[in-house]
């Protein structure tokens, strides 16, 4: 009798956990649908209003911000999510983790800002684009104070969805009203920053008032401990920038804003596809942190979808570029086709890297693979981009992601 009751209890527990994952997946899917719908309106409008050069300048600033955003993240988006997911019933422990992460991120943001100022005054091309760079940096405070990682760990995805949709609605409305010519491209990052700021205010109210999570003022030792603890994941996060966002920066120096505009147009829908796959990754991460035995289910879902999405993007790339960007951007078609292959590689990273190696505590092994793959990408980046321009940049990113994804897959299978 006790055995039957125990089995029934376990079944009910699994059923409840499954419903939580399904509910979170539903909210994040709705979030990603919003991520699809808004660009369907904004991309054609921006492409025809600010042109290829404006697109390229925004892409350059965004590529630089990827570095600073990675510095402020410092791996907390995975390690803190994992730690809170395992202690979410302990409000005091959650408050401690939350406080350490927020203050550490604000400190790292200050360091990043000093680095940006140094780059602006030491590098001529940065100085020429200083306005769009500084406008883009304004996204970071709102990004930090809208701690998506905490909502993910608490499995309260509906808050992320609602706040993000409000933020995108505000951004889109402002974009259509105020961006009317090529010189208005700098307003785009400012409007994104305003959406983040609004979400941050509401998010902090939910966390501090509704959830009664406390924000402690940390000691210096606790800050340094939090930073050291996530150092391996930080290295894993920042190393891909050596071939990814750095390729955009190199292309800006070699080919100028026009080449960057073509590359950005080709990669935009790859990023959307990646965001869709990340929905599944984020929904399963807290659950798999407790139930790694369910990893096979997640693997099947993610890999099947990634193959389908990659094939769709490759086949339909001429139609996508023609419809959303216009004739001026048709050179982006081969970029989109080359990079569509990387969707499967990104899926391997999600499945076996983030949702297996990190969860199982193999951050160092993942770090080593990422460092090696990124250095390979860095080695071939400049010659490929110098001789082949935006097509070379697309190849570097795709090839390096392939090496990374396959290496992570092999390592995870060996550790299993």
- pLDDT at residue number 5: 38
Whether the predicted pLDDT of 240 surpasses 90: no
- pLDDT at residue number 144: 93
- CA–CA separation, 350 vs 279, rounded Å? 11
Are 289 and 359 within 8 A, CB to CB? yes
Please report whether residue 220 resides in a domain: yes
Q: What is the pLDDT of residues 252-284, one digit of tens each?
A: 888 888 888 899 888 888 988 887 787 777 777
Residues shown for the chain: 416
Q: What is the pLDDT of residues 86-143, one digit of tens each?
A: 888 888 999 999 999 999 999 999 999 999 999 999 999 899 999 999 999 999 999 9
Dihedral over Cα of 337, 341, 346, 351: its sign: positive
Please report whether residue 177 resides in a domain: yes
Mean residue pLDDT of the chain comes to: 84
- CA–CA separation, 331 vs 265, rounded Å? 9
Q: What is the pLDDT of residues 10-38, one digit of tens each?
A: 443 455 565 666 666 666 667 666 666 77
Number of domains in the chain: 1
Give the distance, in angstroms, between the CA of residue 133 and the centroid of all CA atoms in the same chain.
19
Helix (H) or strand (E) holding 90: none
Please report whether residue 6 resides in a domain: no
Percent of the chain at pLDDT > 90 equals: 33
Confidence band of 60 (pLDDT split at 50, 70, 90): confident
- pLDDT at residue number 8: 35
- pLDDT at residue number 4: 44
Confidence band of 9 (pLDDT split at 50, 70, 90): very low
Q: How far is CA 124 from CA 118, 127, 193, 246, in A?
A: 11, 5, 25, 17
- CA–CA separation, 86 vs 77, rounded Å? 14
Please report whether residue 214 resides in a domain: yes
Could you list the beta-strand ranges (E) of 152-211.
none
- CA–CA separation, 305 vs 302, rounded Å? 5
Please report whether residue 390 resides in a domain: yes
- pLDDT at residue number 18: 59
Q: For residue 151, how many C-alpha atoms fall within 13 Å in the half-sphere facing its CB?
A: 26
Q: How far is CA 31 from CA 25, 106, 172, in A?
A: 10, 26, 15
Mean pLDDT to the nearest integer, 43-50:
83
Please report whether residue 3 resides in a domain: no
- 82: domain range? 16-415
Please report whether residue 91 resides in a domain: yes
The full DSSP string for 185-205 is GGHHHHHHHHHHHHHHHHHHH
Give the distance, in angstroms, between the CA of residue 399 and the centroid of all CA atoms in the same chain.
20
Specify the residue for token string 């390979």: 376
- pLDDT at residue number 2: 43
Looking at residue 357, the DSSP 8-state letter turns out to be I
Mean pLDDT to the nearest integer, 172-196:
88
Radius of gyration (C-alpha) of the chain in whole angstroms: 21
- Token pair for 352: 């076996």
Please report whether residue 11 resides in a domain: no
Range name among 139-143, 179-183, 304-308 with the lowest pLDDT average: 179-183
């Amino acid at each position: 009798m006790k055995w039957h009751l125990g089995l029934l209890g376990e079944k009910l527990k699994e059923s409840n956990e499954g419903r939580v994952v399904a509910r979170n997946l539903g909210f994040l899917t709705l979030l990603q649908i919003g991520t699809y719908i808004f660009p369907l309106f904004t991309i054609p409008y921006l492409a025809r209003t600010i042109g290829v050069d404006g697109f390229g300048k925004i892409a350059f600033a965004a590529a630089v911000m990827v570095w600073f955003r990675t510095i402020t993240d410092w791996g907390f988006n995975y390690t803190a999510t994992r730690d809170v997911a395992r202690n979410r019933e302990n409000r005091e422990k959650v408050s401690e983790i939350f406080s350490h992460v927020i203050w550490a991120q604000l400190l790292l943001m200050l360091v990043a800002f000093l680095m940006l100022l140094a780059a602006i005054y030491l590098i001529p091309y940065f100085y020429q684009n200083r306005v769009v760079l500084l406008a883009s940096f304004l996204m970071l405070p709102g990004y930090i104070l809208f701690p998506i990682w905490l909502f993910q760990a608490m499995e309260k995805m509906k808050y992320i969805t609602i706040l993000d949709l409000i933020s995108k609605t505000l951004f889109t409305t402002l974009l259509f009203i105020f961006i009317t010519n090529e010189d208005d491209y700098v307003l785009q990052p400012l409007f994104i920053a305003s959406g983040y700021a609004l979400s941050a205010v509401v998010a902090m109210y939910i966390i501090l008032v509704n959830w009664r999570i406390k924000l402690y003022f940390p000691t210096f030792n606790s800050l340094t401990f939090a930073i050291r603890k996530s150092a391996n994941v930080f290295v894993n996060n920042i190393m891909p920038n050596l071939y990814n966002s750095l390729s955009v920066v190199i292309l800006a120096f070699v080919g100028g804003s026009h080449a960057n505009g073509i590359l950005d147009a080709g990669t935009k829908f790859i990023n959307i596809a990646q965001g869709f796959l990340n929905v599944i990754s984020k929904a399963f991460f807290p659950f798999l942190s407790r139930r790694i035995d369910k990893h096979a289910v997640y693997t099947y879902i993610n890999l099947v979808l990634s193959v389908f999405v990659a094939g769709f993007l490759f086949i339909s790339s001429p139609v996508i570029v023609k419809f959303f960007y216009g004739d001026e951007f048709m050179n982006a078609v081969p970029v989109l086709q080359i990079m569509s292959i990387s969707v499967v590689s990104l899926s391997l990273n999600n499945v076996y890297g983030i949702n297996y190696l990190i969860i199982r505590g193999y951050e160092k092994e993942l770090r080593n693979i990422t460092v090696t793959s990124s250095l390979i990408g860095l080695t071939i980046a400049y010659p490929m981009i110098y001789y082949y321009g935006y097509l070379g940049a697309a190849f570097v990113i795709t090839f390096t992601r392939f090496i990374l994804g396959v290496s992570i897959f092999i390592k995870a299978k060996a550790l299993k």
